Structures are given as C-alpha cells and as structure tokens.
Structure 1
Amino acid sequence: MHVSNRVEFGHLIDNEEFNLVPLNPELWEIEKNRWDWERRYLNPGYLEVVEANSTVEMPCPDVYWFPVFTERFSQEMITTFEDFGKWSDGTHDDGRLEGGYESVPTVDIHMKQMGMEAEWLEILRSYIQPLQLKVFQGYNNEVGPPRAIMNFMVRYKPDEQPFLRPHHDTSTYTINVALNRPGDDYQGGGCRFVRYNCSVTDSRVGWVLMHPGRLTHLHEGLPTTHGTRYIIVSFVDP
C-alpha cells in the first residue's frame, strides 16, 4: 500500500439534515461542511490579511478594512434575504426587539428571522475575531463566539430609506459588510465618520469595515441616490 498526504483525493460531506427550504442553503453549511463553505464563500485574500505581520488598510482613523467574503457569498446573501422578503418598515416601532423600540431604525432583516444566527456567530468567532485582535487588542472571548445580539442586513433605496442620520452604535465595535458595488449597483451611499470628516464611499464587495461603536465614531449612512445598496451589520461586544 502506498499512502501519500501530498495529493488531495477528496473529502467527506455531511449531507444529513441539509435544509432545502431557504434559497441558497449552502450558506448555512459553515459548521457541517466547512471546507466546501470556505471554498465558496471565504475571500482568498483573507488568509493573507489574518497573518500576524500583514498590513491592514485604514481608510479613516481607527476604521479598518478586511477582505473576508467572496462575491458569490455577497450575491447569494442578497438573493436569499430578498427571497425571504420580510423587511422591516424602518420606523421606531419594532416588535422584534425587547421593548419594541428602535432608536436608529433601518429597513432590515435580522439573522434570527432567517434562522442564520448560529451560523453568523460562528463566522464572527472563526473569521472576524482574529481580525479584531489585530487592530483592537485586549478584547477576546476565549470560551465562545463574540457577543453580538444585533446582526442584520440593511437595504438602502432612494424611495424607501436612502440614508441614516448620524448616530453611535450600541457596540464595542461594529462590522459593516458591503454586499454590492457602488457605481454599478447603486449610486451614492457610503459611511461618513463625523469626528474625522472622513468618508468611505468606494465599498468593496465582501470586504468588512470595522470601527469602534461608541464615543469616538459618530457616523452616518450617506444618501443612496439610485439603485439599491445592501450591507450586513453586526454590533459586537466581546
């Protein structure tokens, strides 16, 4: 018998309890079939940027940019959430929240509504927390995923909700994932950090923008003037 570990001949797939209900069910396979999930959805640049000595882009003070997801992930997330279709109305009254009130409302769908909360927390633990430790040291939850109770996709449209007023996030740090491309899919949009008068408008599909949530980084969503802009937001308290 000849045995070699230099050639890959295949791998095992766990297809038990594969959920055929949602559109693009492979998005839910991060824990059961991680190897395939990473091949589909993890940006090839992620492994380079997560290295200890890698350079991290900082488009605004203490605002960092990382390649995390592929364009396939971004597009499938958009189509899956749009197929689900239960967008909030963007008002302060929000029955999904304890107390029923949202101080800074957006038109959004929560990960919990999609049955994707556990998978998203695993993404935060496996792929986002290692990046956070590179730039915001001293925050580390070693016994589980980062604490994040607000995880959702936001939709900006000129005739629906084109912008978001200046606000602080209820988080230690926030991530903002760009899901589509400015100039091609929509016009306008972006995030402006008021204290620094610094804006990030040239979003990159699948890239994560990470910034402090409270005190220093008052920010606003700039007006989307044409098309539809999609982002994923998580408020994280490690």
Structure 2
Amino acid sequence: MIFRGLWNVPFITNAYLVNASLLRSYDSTKLTFSLPNVDADMAFCYSLRDLDIFMYVSNRVDFGHLINYETYEVTRAEPDMYQIFENEQAWEEAFIHPQYHENFNPEANPKQPCPDVYWFPIVTRKFTKALINMMESFGKWSSGKNEDTRLEGGYEAVPTRDIHMNQVGWERHWLYFLQKYVRPLQEHVFTGYYHNPPRSLMNFVVRYRPDEQPSLRPHHDSSTYTINIALNEAGKDYEGGGCRFLRYNCSVVDTQVGWMLMHPGRLTHFHEGLLVTKGTRYIMIAFVDP
C-alpha cells in the first residue's frame, strides 16, 4: 500500500524544491552549506532548522524520477531506452503502448489479419523512433549477403540488411522485454505453449529500401514463433512493403506503428517481405524459441 501525504522532516538529501525568495529574506551568514566536519546536505538542513524554516517531504504529486548516473550512459544515442532495469516504471510509461493491457481484456478478441497471425499494440512511437535512432546512429548495417560473421556458423540462409541488438548493447534489455511483455501475449493466443523464459538468438532491426534491399524472398523462420514490430509508418515514411503468407495467400500491408505481428515460425507460415517501392521501412524482428 502506498500512502500519499506531506511530512515535516528534519533532514533532506539529494533532491530539493526551495523557495529562493524565502531564503533571501534570511541572513546569508546564517544560511550556509559549510560547517566544520559536516557535509553540505547536513550543514544546509542544520541552518534551516536553526532559522525555524520547516522542511517537508511530499509524494502527493509525481514530479518525475531520479536517474542513477552510475548506469545512465550518456554516450548512448538513446540512454533512456537502456533504463528498463533501473527505472522500470518510468520506462514502461514512456515506451509501452497505452493500449497494451487491453490486449488481455476477455471481452476483446485479438486482431487476426491472417490465420494464426495475431496483431497487438505493444510499444509507443517514442520507442519506435528511439530504436530507429539507436540503429542509424550505430550505422553498421549488414551487407545483406549470405556470409555473416556475426553468426556462429558465419552463414545466413535468408539475409537482410540489419543490425543485431547485441551490436548496440541492447540484447539483455530486449530479452527482458520478450519475457515481460511478449511472452504473456504468446500464452494468451497460442494456448498450451509455455516457455519461460523465452529464448531468442536472432533479434534485429531490418531496413528495407528500393536502392538496398527492397524485399525478402519466401522463407520459413528458425523459430517456434516470430514477432515483427512496425517501427515507422506505411504510406508516409515508405510505400509498399508488408508481409505475405503464401499458404493462405494473405498479406498484411496496413501495418501500424508500434503494433506487433506474431505468427508461427516453422512449417506452416511460409512468408515473404513485400516490395518497398519508395522511402525506408524499418521493422524489429525476433525469432523466439528456435
């Protein structure tokens, strides 16, 4: 249980909200941050008490959160994206889609654009823009050729122009994302399949462009199930694109930013990436439980 209130306290450290005009009305020689053998916080609070100025702690309003500077990496292109462990509540508020929890509403049927293909709102536009920026700032897109030194065997059967999560130091964060936000959706729609935690060795962002790699030939994924998150907007950022499931002659082309497609990987869902005719299309892919 969380109690909301306002408390009079004798000592405050780290964070202050101070009315400067009030402090200016007191003798500056008596209001000090420096006392012998006392740190600055203790000296300041001692001075306030000596002047009969009351200090308060309040949690009636959420003003924000404190950053742990030991883990906040300002050298990263998007340091907030890496705070999923240290500031989880703030991370979720910023990056998880506001309709995510509605996915589990028993009165709402999951969107199913093709047989056994499910569609969920999962992340915000802030997340998708940040992930694109992380990848473009890193900039080392693969060649799109079969030879790939990033893989254990050095060979990719169905290559794409991509950057892996571990290349930008976000593999551990992504696996936690799979565990907390993707796995419950998988268990919700693929009833009876349970794997906790989910395993995923291939986690990457793909870039499709007419002058690079505009499409992807038909293939099966090396996964039990695959997720595909749209990172930018069809019809605005690019034209064409989408995913076609050949067995069902069913295509998903009207993708929505921050929504995730989930479908079986092997055997049943032979699919292809449709041609991007203009602009740049970005998608986030994970092959789960290979």
| Interval containing the TM-score (normalised by the shorter chain) | over 0.9
In the other structure, the counterpart of 1:121 is 175
Secondary structure in structure 1 of the residue aligned to 2:261: strand
1:50 deviation in Å?
2.7
- For residue 18 of structure 1, the aligned residue among 72, 88, 96 is 72
- For residue 141 of structure 2, the aligned residue among 87, 92, 96 is 87
Secondary structure in structure 2 of the residue aligned to 1:119: helix
Name the CA distance, whole Å, in 1 between partners of 2:281 and 2:65: 38
CA contact (8 A) 1:52 1:134 kept: no
Q: Which one has a bigger Cα radius of gyration?
A: 2
1:97 deviation in Å?
0.4
Identity %: 55
Q: Deviations over 1:179-228 (max 9, x none)?
A: 00110000000000000000000010000000000111000000000000
Q: What's the TM-score, normalizing by structure 1?
A: 0.94
- Partner amino acid for 1:188? G
- For residue 200 of structure 1, the aligned residue among 252, 257, 278 is 252
- Partner amino acid for 1:169? D
- For residue 184 of structure 1, the aligned residue among 236, 241, 248 is 236
Mapped pair 1:68 → 2:68: no
CA contact (8 A) 1:30 1:119 kept: yes
Mapped pair 1:234 → 2:286: yes
CA contact (8 A) 2:65 2:90 kept: no
What count of residue pairs does the alignment treat as equivalent? 234
1:80 deviation in Å?
1.4
Name the CA distance, whole Å, in 1 between partners of 2:104 and 2:66: 27
Shift in alpha-carbon separation, 1:9–1:173, aligned structure 2, 3 A: same
Q: Deviations over 1:59-118 (max 9, x none)?
A: 000000000000111011111110100100000000000110000000000001111000
Higher relative contact order, structure no. (Cα contacts within 8 Å, ≥ 6 residues apart): 1
Name the CA distance, whole Å, in 2 between partners of 1:228 and 1:205: 14
- Partner amino acid for 2:66? I
Unmatched segments (≥5 aa) in structure 2: 6-58
CA contact (8 A) 2:242 2:274 kept: yes
Unmatched segments (≥5 aa) in structure 1: none
CA contact (8 A) 2:134 2:168 kept: no
CA RMSD of aligned residues (A): 1.6
In the other structure, the counterpart of 2:33 is none
In the other structure, the counterpart of 2:212 is 160
Name the CA distance, whole Å, in 2 between partners of 1:52 and 1:13: 37
1:139 deviation in Å?
2.4
Shift in alpha-carbon separation, 1:222–1:49, aligned structure 2, 3 A: same
Name the CA distance, whole Å, in 1 between partners of 2:66 and 2:176: 19
